[in-house]
């Protein structure tokens, strides 16, 4: 059949030359469209995805529609900073499902070079992002000059809109679905599979409808779960005819535009302003809030007519959502990070189960929630579960429960609740390596690091569900309950009272993230034998007037005292020390643990936040001296860092590989970083080595020793080749507000900062500053300023074997400060590159930061070690109490060669791409030789042997976990 080329005016926004990006089909027919039948295409105003019109195509079996002009495909160039690949995108509207496939072909000089099929068995709008060189059949080439649509093997009518022939898309983000099930198959097992594997997860749901008989406890359990969930979600509102009319008007406006997912909008970033103006949308989150408000209204009135009106409006709103492509089987081009946008929709639909059942539409809603919440994930085989993903707990788990509770059949509801229980019981465990999930030391990992901001979200998703399921046949119990409980309790250790340590804020150093007391309340109410007293007392401290405070007090429970002691969290290279109402935290990094997380618009200057950052936190971050505006990112207290200009400190961010995003998460090549604890005191030490991306010559050996309310900080081996900028070890940096008089005080050999901490400098040239301090906003890079006080030890430019030694009396009173100035009651027994050894004269405790193996200098107890280690030792009569740590997490042996170039220089690699991130830490047996003869109390991790005047200890440990040892002197 001869092809007919339609002549018409080509309007703005239609691709004809290479520099135009999108077909929007507004008003007139583009002149570069050709069809087999003259009247088969037209511009339609029935439905559209942008502007006010789309292209209608009425076709018969096998007919074709073509668009002439440069497709714009570009070959991906390996080694480039840009990792995005050329992809094809379009929207199709189907009024009636068609049994067959439409082919989309890409031609050069009339010859098909590549193509892909679209299954047409759908109703409503669908879109797809199809990567040319991975997802399509054939071989794409640059210069392709025609797109051809070949109709299915039956007649039909579709609308087409917003064709973007070639747009650069991060290859991790193209999503497959029921229309294009061949796209990005690798995503099913990738790091972002929890977002992207909707198709896989839905299709692993057990569809076995075998009848089961519920017992009374199972039936009552279902009622209890539904009741608790409804009570937690429900909010009473005043329903009036005016409010209903307002919501009806709101919906009438929504129907004129499109329902969009924020992450999908990246596809429009290179469109011209006039093209972007045609794209009008409501975000899914906003629409979810609207739906939830309708659900509140329905559940707040007893008026039958009002209920019917609200239910009808809610159902129509869902139909609009389905028509927009928000339905089971559709992935909207991409689905990554969807969960953050859908919570309110899931809540609303669950709260409206009753009217949806009456209307006969609940199953369609359930299927949609099941698809987008990835509920099929709960059918993952037990052997494939390596821990639980924090994003799943935070954003998807509530949707999974909603999908389950939308079942009309109680038998099916029970079956799926048991499956959810099985999933939780098998995935709430200690995850290996640096993979996300729970760690033995109480930390919660996400993005391959201890990340309290995400742990907070995880608890907000998981803990309510533990509460809903508690006391039923479907409960989370035993070890799994204890793991979550321990992690919830640990949040109060690295927070004081509500704020996290600054070094733990990841890419959000804005002071906004805080501990959530609700998790403590709900976990306390979920105790297996009734209320968990430890959690309840912790809750009372955090929220003495909270929702369950009276209940807990009536049980005779009292507010816990602020935690006191020292805690080692070596999975996060973190040491905590607490007394009275204050907390000190020290943070490092290593070849396993990243030193920073920086995105294009987050934490741009945070490179130094794990360089041994030492923060004293009493009250909020602001009360403790931190305000983001004016904060000097080069001077985190405790760090040893090069004072480079801000323009050089700003991260040079790129997408390192296709397993990562556009971010910076740098590793060291050192294994020695972590802490140790003994008898409520502790220590921290690290070998600092900056990544060669910035200055690979910058090194230091750093230690901190905590004895009651004093800290001793030592440094040695400080060196780098920066001859332009000084290297500083920061003592303190504190926000002053408008009161400059309330700043540091110098007293002979000591400095008292505005936070009432006394610093006694033994070695190092101190520089003191106060007044207006200019800095950069961590998100935008714009100028900020505030009044600050700042103190640092200046090691000069290009230091060689630099050192420092200072001590801090934390929050002492005047009498304690005077005594500390006169006699700090500790001795530094050794301070060089092999070891830092400090003895506290009050407690007779000695701390050893043994950076190297071999003979240990200048001490009475330890002859040698064969493993770089950290030891705390306290003599009590004939008994010695000892704590040993091998800080090397030992996730892999040798060198990760992919992290080095041909000259042996470390290069930037994404932590997500490292093959060892999911490895279990290997056990290691370290040999410690003691001076003298000792027996060891029964300890399966320690073997001892007396050899002459020495005792050999063979200590087995893993994951940086402290090993406590009791020794009896038998000399």
> What span, in angstroms and rounded, lies between the C-alpha atoms of 711 and 731?
12
Q: Tell me the β-bridge partners of 842.
A: none
pLDDT attached to residue 843: 96
As a whole number, mean pLDDT of residues 184-199 equals 94
Is the preceding omega at residue 497 within 30 degrees of 0, hence cis? yes
836 close to 806: Cβ distance less than 8 angstroms: no
As a whole number, mean pLDDT of residues 318-332 equals 98
pLDDT attached to residue 394: 93
> What span, in angstroms and rounded, lies between the C-alpha atoms of 295 and 317?
12
> What span, in angstroms and rounded, lies between the C-alpha atoms of 586 and 887?
14
Number of C-beta neighbours around residue 340 at 10 A: 15
What lies within 8 Å, CB to CB, of 521 at 6+ separation is 539, 543, 546, 547, 548
pLDDT band (50, 70, 90) for residue 878: confident
Tokens of 934: 């000792």
Residue with tokens 């995105």: 599
Distances (CA, A) of 851 to 428, 567, 674, 682, 835: 35, 21, 12, 17, 5
Burial 306-323 (b: 16+ CB within 10 A, else e): bbebbbebbbebbebbbb
As a whole number, mean pLDDT of residues 585-601 equals 97
809 close to 757: Cβ distance less than 8 angstroms: yes
Residues in the chain: 971
pLDDT attached to residue 216: 94
Residue 916: phi and psi, rounded to 5, are: -100, 0
User: Percent helix, strand and coil across the chain, each rounded to 5?
Assistant: 25, 30, 45
As a whole number, mean pLDDT of residues 467-485 equals 97
Tokens of 776: 């950069």
Distances (CA, A) of 881 to 342, 426, 837, 885, 947: 53, 38, 17, 14, 21
Distances (CA, A) of 93 to 104, 136, 631, 859: 15, 22, 52, 79
Residue 356: phi and psi, rounded to 5, are: -70, -35
pLDDT attached to residue 209: 77
Task: Write the pLDDT tens digit of every residue in 502-549.
Answer: 999 999 998 888 999 999 999 999 999 899 999 999 999 999 999 999
Number of C-beta neighbours around residue 904 at 10 A: 8
Check pLDDT > 60 for residue 86.
yes
pLDDT band (50, 70, 90) for residue 79: low
pLDDT band (50, 70, 90) for residue 77: confident
Check pLDDT > 90 for residue 741.
no
Distances (CA, A) of 307 to 299, 313, 730: 8, 10, 64
Task: Write the pLDDT tens digit of every residue in 239-275.
Answer: 999 999 999 999 999 999 999 999 999 999 889 999 9
Helix (H) or strand (E) holding 673: strand 673-678
Smallest Cα–Cα separation from 951: which of 971, 929, 970, 922? 929
Task: Write the pLDDT tens digit of every residue in 812-861.
Answer: 999 999 999 999 999 999 999 999 999 999 999 999 999 999 999 999 99
Check pLDDT > 60 for residue 9.
no
Check pLDDT > 60 for residue 16.
no
pLDDT band (50, 70, 90) for residue 82: low
Averaged pLDDT score across all residues of the chain: 94
Smallest Cα–Cα separation from 160: which of 102, 86, 99, 87? 102
Burial 127-145 (b: 16+ CB within 10 A, else e): bbbbbbbbbbeeebeeebe
Higher pLDDT, 640 or 5: 640
- Residue 406: CA count within 13 A, CB half-sphere: 28
Task: Write the pLDDT tens digit of every residue in 928-938.
Answer: 999 999 999 98
Task: Write the pLDDT tens digit of every residue in 691-723.
Answer: 999 999 999 999 999 999 999 999 999 999 999
pLDDT attached to residue 12: 29
As a whole number, mean pLDDT of residues 121-145 equals 97
Tokens of 383: 């052997």
409 close to 471: Cβ distance less than 8 angstroms: no
pLDDT attached to residue 5: 32
Tokens of 785: 């300023």
pLDDT attached to residue 8: 27
Residue with tokens 């408008």: 738
Smallest Cα–Cα separation from 795: which of 711, 712, 745, 731? 731
As a whole number, mean pLDDT of residues 744-769 equals 95
Distances (CA, A) of 586 to 189, 400, 514, 569, 890: 36, 38, 19, 10, 21
pLDDT attached to residue 387: 84
> What span, in angstroms and rounded, lies between the C-alpha atoms of 178 and 200?
10
Tokens of 707: 């004895």
Share of the chain above pLDDT 70, in %: 98
As a whole number, mean pLDDT of residues 623-647 equals 97
For the chain, how big is the Rg over CA atoms in Å? 32
Check pLDDT > 80 for residue 18.
no
pLDDT attached to residue 666: 97
- Residue 928: CA count within 13 A, CB half-sphere: 31
pLDDT attached to residue 80: 63
* Lowest pLDDT segment from 375-379, 540-544, 743-747: 743-747
Check pLDDT > 80 for residue 6.
no
> What span, in angstroms and rounded, lies between the C-alpha atoms of 736 and 785?
12
CA of residue 561 relative to chain centroid, distance: 31
């Amino acid at each position: 059949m001869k092809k007919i080329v339609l002549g018409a005016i080509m309007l703005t926004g239609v691709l004809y030359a290479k520099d135009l990006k999108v077909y929007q089909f507004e008003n007139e027919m583009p002149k570069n469209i050709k069809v087999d039948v003259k009247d088969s295409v037209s511009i339609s105003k029935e439905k559209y995805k942008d502007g006010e019109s789309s292209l209608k195509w009425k076709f018969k079996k096998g007919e074709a529609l073509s668009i002439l002009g440069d497709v714009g495909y570009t070959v991906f160039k390996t080694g480039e900073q840009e990792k995005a690949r050329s992809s094809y995108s379009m929207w199709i509207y189907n009024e009636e499902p068609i049994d067959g496939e439409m082919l989309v072909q890409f031609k050069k000089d009339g010859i098909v070079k590549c193509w892909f099929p679209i299954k047409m068995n759908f109703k409503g709008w669908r879109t797809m992002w199809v990567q040319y060189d991975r997802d399509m059949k054939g071989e794409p080439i640059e210069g392709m000059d025609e797109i051809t649509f070949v109709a299915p093997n039956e007649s039909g009518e579709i609308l087409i809109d917003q064709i973007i022939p070639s747009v650069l898309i991060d290859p991790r983000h193209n999503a497959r679905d029921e229309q294009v099930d061949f796209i990005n198959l690798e995503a099913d097992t990738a790091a972002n599979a929890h977002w992207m594997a909707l198709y896989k997860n839905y299709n692993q749901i057990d569809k076995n409808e075998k009848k089961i008989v519920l017992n009374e406890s199972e039936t009552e359990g279902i009622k209890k779960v539904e009741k608790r969930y409804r009570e937690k979600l429900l909010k009473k509102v005043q329903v009036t005819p005016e409010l209903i009319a307002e919501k009806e008007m709101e919906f009438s406006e929504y129907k004129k535009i499109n329902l969009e997912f924020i992450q999908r909008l990246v596809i429009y970033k290179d469109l011209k302003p006039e093209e972007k103006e045609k794209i009008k949308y409501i975000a899914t989150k906003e629409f979810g809030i609207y739906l939830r408000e309708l659900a509140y209204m329905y559940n707040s009135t007893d008026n039958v007519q009002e209920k019917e009106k609200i239910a009808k409006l809610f159902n129509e709103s869902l139909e609009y959502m389905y028509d927009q492509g928000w339905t089971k089987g559709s992935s909207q081009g991409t689905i990554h990070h969807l969960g953050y946008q859908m919570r309110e929709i899931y809540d609303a639909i669950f709260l409206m189960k009753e009217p949806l059942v009456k209307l006969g539409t609940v199953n369609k809603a359930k299927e949609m929630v099941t698809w987008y919440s990835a509920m099929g994930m709960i059918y993952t085989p037990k052997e494939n579960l390596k821990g639980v993903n924090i994003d799943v707990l935070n954003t998807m788990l509530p949707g999974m429960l909603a999908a389950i509770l939308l079942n009309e059949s109680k038998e099916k509801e029970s079956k799926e609740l048991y499956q959810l229980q099985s999933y939780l019981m098998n995935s709430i465990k200690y995850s290996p390596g640096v993979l996300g999930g729970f760690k033995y030391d109480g930390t919660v990992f996400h993005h391959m690091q201890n990340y309290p901001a995400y742990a907070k979200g995880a608890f907000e998703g998981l803990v309510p569900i533990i509460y809903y399921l508690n006391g039923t046949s479907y409960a989370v119990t035993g070890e799994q309950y204890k793991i979550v409980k321990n992690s919830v309790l640990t949040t109060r250790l690295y927070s004081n009272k509500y704020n996290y340590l600054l070094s733990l804020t990841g890419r959000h150093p804005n002071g906004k993230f805080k501990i959530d007391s609700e998790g403590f309340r709900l976990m306390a109410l979920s105790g297996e034998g009734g209320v968990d007293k430890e959690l309840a007392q912790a809750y009372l401290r955090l929220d003495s007037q909270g929702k369950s405070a009276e209940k807990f007090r009536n049980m005779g429970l009292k507010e816990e005292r602020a935690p006191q002691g020292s805690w080692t969290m070596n999975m996060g290279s973190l040491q905590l020390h607490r007394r009275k109402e204050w907390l000190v935290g020290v943070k490092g990094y290593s070849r396993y643990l990243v030193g920073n997380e920086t995105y294009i618009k987050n934490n741009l200057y945070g490179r130094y936040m794990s360089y041994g950052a030492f923060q004293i936190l009493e009250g909020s971050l602001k009360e403790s001296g931190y305000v983001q505006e004016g904060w000097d990112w080069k001077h985190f207290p405790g760090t040893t860092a090069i004072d480079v200009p801000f323009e050089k400190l700003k991260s040079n961010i790129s997408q390192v590989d296709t397993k990562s995003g556009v971010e910076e998460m740098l590793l060291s090549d050192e294994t020695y970083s972590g802490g140790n604890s003994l008898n409520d005191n502790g220590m921290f030490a690290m070998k600092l080595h900056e990544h060669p991306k910035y200055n690979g010559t910058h090194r230091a050996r750093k230690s901190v020793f905590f004895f009651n309310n004093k800290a001793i900080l030592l440094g040695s081996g400080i060196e780098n080749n920066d001859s332009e900028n000084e290297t500083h070890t920061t003592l303190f940096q504190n926000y002053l507000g408008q009161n400059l008089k309330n700043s540091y005080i110098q007293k002979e050999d000591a400095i008292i900062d505005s936070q009432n901490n006394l610093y006694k400098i033994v070695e190092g040239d101190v520089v003191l500053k106060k007044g207006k301090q200019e800095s950069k906003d961590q998100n935008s890079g714009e100028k900020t300023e505030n009044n600050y006080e700042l103190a640092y030890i200046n090691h000069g430019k290009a230091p060689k074997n630099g050192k420092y030694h200072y001590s801090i009396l934390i929050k002492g009173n005047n009498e304690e400060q005077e005594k500390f100035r006169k006699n700090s009651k500790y001795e530094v027994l050794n301070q060089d590159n092999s070891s830092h050894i400090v003895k506290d004269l009050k407690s007779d405790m000695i701390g050893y930061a043994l950076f190297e193996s071999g003979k240990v200098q200048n001490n009475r107890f330890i002859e040698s070690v064969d493993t770089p280690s950290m030891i705390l030792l306290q003599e009590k009569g004939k008994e010695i109490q000892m704590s040993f740590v091998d800080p090397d997490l030992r996730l892999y042996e040798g060198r990760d060669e992919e992290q080095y170039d041909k000259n042996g220089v470390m290069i930037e690699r994404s932590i997500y791409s490292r093959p060892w991130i999911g490895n279990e830490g290997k056990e290691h047996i370290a040999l410690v030789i003691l001076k003298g003869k000792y027996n060891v109390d029964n300890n399966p991790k320690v073997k001892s042997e007396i050899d002459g005047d020495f005792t050999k200890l063979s200590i087995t440990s893993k994951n940086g976990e402290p090993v406590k040892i009791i020794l009896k002197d038998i000399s």
